Structure 1
Amino acid sequence: MRQLNAVGTYLPPWGTERARSAGRDEDVVTMGVAAGRAALGGQGVPVRRVVLVSRDLPLIEGGNSAALLAGLGLGTGVSVVEQIGGAPAALDAVVTAERGTLVVAVDETPAGAAAVLVGETGPAITAVRQVTRSLPVRARGRDGLVRDYADPRLERERGAGVAIDQLELPAKPVAVAGLPARQASALTEGRPPALPTSGASSSLFALASLTGPGLVLAVEQATASAASVDGVAPTVRRDERSPRAGETRTVTPGPEIGISLAAYERAFEPKLRWEAAACTECGTLAFPPRYRCLGCGAEGRWTTASLPRTGEVYTAVTVHVPVPGLATPYSLAIVELDQVGVRALVPVTGAPAGAVGIGDRGRLVFRRMAIRTGIPDYGYALLPDDERAEGSR
């Protein structure tokens, strides 16, 4: 028996109440980290396996697993499965997961992410049935082009409609993922919850919407899957800010900034895990890590220490100078991290350029700093507290 220990959700701040858009520094991995951290809730729950479900994986070769684990704060020994799929695939990943599994599902259009921690407490979830058929009315091939057959009647009468009939559900679902609101309403008892996405994450957003027991239906083209949730509603932690209009920025054309994989590898662990070097002789912290301690002069004797993810702006600047490959204007801030005396230079995210000033507070969040030679380069950015971000609209 699988139990929904907790559900975490994330929506980017850009867009409208109906649909959100990923920021320039966001992708499947960064949004998945945000949802996963919300599900884990900072409780240190042991996670033995992570399943990432999406149709928009940043890397097909090379993998996204290490960056995902680093952002989540999980060890390098945790198993990760990267699965291409939609709403039924994400729901199936939950109902077949073993205890200690974190299922993360992410979509880029509309943008959103949700995660489910399968554990030993919470409402039970049981698979009802799955029907897998083929009707590729929307398809993306090896050439990367998306082809849309655009025949809603065909999809309804020969695709989703047939799959749902073959499920032979014992009752009407309380939530439907993967279908437009009008079609979902025709299938449910009463008004179904409005879901912010329609892809893989929509089935996990459906679980987050539950207020009690019931059936959850997930549909994609001619495939459908259903699960039954018993007992009380699951614990839900949401990282969802009020929507705001997207920023107007200019991208300057020019030669791409190449990546140095040697430098990338050296910086990966401290940068993505947000860790400093702690001198074993005097305890002085260094970020980024240094070979020689600035406190006592000891060389090569240090351990790692996790850095706080909250802090106060020590100073900030807004950059308007055009740089090839970068969208301008953008803001940078030196953040005094809480309780450790460490300052970090980071970009500002989730707020218009120029929105933060000295003394403002915020938290450090996992973001994509750049794409260099086709490889995402991740790090941390300052997300201003709601009060400041809301006041800068």
Structure 2
Amino acid sequence: MNRIPHDTSGEPDPLRVLTPDELRRRTSMKWRTHPADVLPLWVAEMDVPQPEAVVRAVTDALALGDTGYPAGTAYAEALAAFAAKRWGWDTLAVERTALVPDVMLGVVEMLKLVTGPGDPVIVNPPVYPPFFQFVTHMDRRVVQAPLGPDLRLDLDALDEAFGRAVAGGGRAAYLLCNPQNPTGTVHTAAELTAVAELAGRHGVRVVADEIHAPLTAAGAAFVPYLSVPGGERGLSLMSASKGWNLAGLKAALAVAGPEAAADLARLPEEVGHGASHLGVIAHTAALRDGIAWLDALLAGLDENRRLLDALLAEHLPEIRHRPGRATFLAWLDCRGLGLGDDPAQVFLDRGRVALNSGLPFGEGGAGHVRLNIGTSPDLITEAVRRMTEAVR
């Protein structure tokens, strides 16, 4: 697959635009959960303004009173064009897509299509906590196959977990996080091909959460699961939500491999009614006209990864940090500080900086925190200063 290089010409770094005072005016979860003296670098919201194309598309719709229910395939067409240009994936078929309210509700609907109540769903911790919450809420069983010490897929652990999951002859699914949240690991084509081979051999269905795919750094290659040999029976969830900070404008797409088209066709039509019409408009505009903005963001995130790594090495060398190649999240191993299983609580209480506790991320999360680098270099610097003061 041929991929185009990132081009940041003509766009300022979106991470350097908004001031702390402007951010404090926001009413979303990131900025309103904690008191004003807490620096919030936790939930997956970025401190960025929207691309002008997205603002224009939404405001034009509001001015027209175009606030009804979503219709048509513009979002899927925009995603297919983006995937072809960005990832060299030119076989994303619009007719094998379906609109869903958001990625996690889409995951639930895909799991309903390929599993039944009580069936096992394999995950790779440390992984996005709602994987556990949504799976158990829909009456499925979570089976953990942890990442290896290098934070990459452990294929032997997956093989064992797949075998255990189907030992009784029932159905099982594998909920793949690609790229991985919170580690930022970008799975390779070879790894994903091996996953597909294992899934085919054991009869396990793969559902891939690929929401962070647009946030793969320059020089790293995102590989869509459905594009690898053996991925034809897979189902994927994709969205512009994370790449363009559109969590408040909900919309996502379920995408089926050629051999999973019949499964997707069984999705109840009313599921698509749950997506926001304005969300679909915003996501479509981002994928079509927000590319230069995205590239400027990716360049800024690369700078922030290097900055965080240098600051930790200088001020908190006890913290182990393996910079990821995707997402705007950093996974920090704080066990060397001796702060117990939940260092995030210590950083909040003593340093007034809010990070995500590693505990809800499953096996391997104790003693870790997740830090959101989707903010300005100044706020990252201030966060490390506060973290250092909290433990010294």
TM-score (norm 1): 0.27
Say which one has the larger Rg: 1
**Bigger helix fraction:** 2
